[in-house]
Structure 1
Amino acid sequence: MRVLIEVLHIVVGLLAALLIAALASWSYPLARQDIWLVTYVAMAAVVGMGIGPMRRAYAKDKAGFDGAPADG
């Protein structure tokens, strides 16, 4: 269940970045390419920052199912 919550956090972050980029590129079309470039980098950062919490959530979920304590 914790892993699902972490995945949802990542998805919401990606959707928020897409929404902000779409509105920004619509409002300032001269910088459309730069806006989308920054958006793709920000989306990669969102995914990268979500890996650690997802690994910890997986360890806690696995420990809860096995009955063994989680590492970390």
Structure 2
Amino acid sequence: MARTPIPRTAVETLHIVAGLVVAAAMTWAAAWAYPLGRDVIWWCGAGAMVATVLMGVGPLRRARAHDRQRA
């Protein structure tokens, strides 16, 4: 009985979600630790989250193309 491999698209999506969770947690911790800079810290965290998504677009597109080829 052959095992069905996990689609690469799912793996890449999980990587993006994990990056967003880590960025949000680090931003929250930094804002909690330094309340005077909370607004700036959250803007920087939002920038990091946007960068995480943008950096994940290329690998996600390649993974989707790979999954379509195999289907």
TM-score, with length taken from structure 2:
0.90
Unaligned runs of 5+ in 1: 66-72
Determine the C-alpha separation between the residues in 1 that align with 2:20 and 2:54. Answer: 12
Asked if residue 21 in structure 1 is aligned to residue 43 in structure 2, the reply is no
Determine the C-alpha separation between the residues in 2 that align with 1:2 and 1:53. Answer: 9
1:37 is displaced (CA, Å) by 0.1
Residues 14-46 of structure 1, C-alpha deviations (whole Å, 9 max, x = no match)? 000000011100000000000000000110000
> Which stretches of structure 1, 4 residues or more, deviate above 3 A after TM superposition?
none
Determine the C-alpha separation between the residues in 2 that align with 1:40 and 1:18. Answer: 8
1:48 is displaced (CA, Å) by 0.2
Residues 45-67 of structure 1, C-alpha deviations (whole Å, 9 max, x = no match)? 000000000000000000001xx
Unaligned runs of 5+ in 2: 1-6
Asked if residue 62 in structure 1 is aligned to residue 62 in structure 2, the reply is no
14, 17, 33: which one aligns with 1:11: 17
Identity across the alignment (%) = 46
TM-score, with length taken from structure 1:
0.89
Determine the C-alpha separation between the residues in 1 that align with 2:55 and 2:12. Answer: 11
Number of residue pairs matched by the alignment: 65
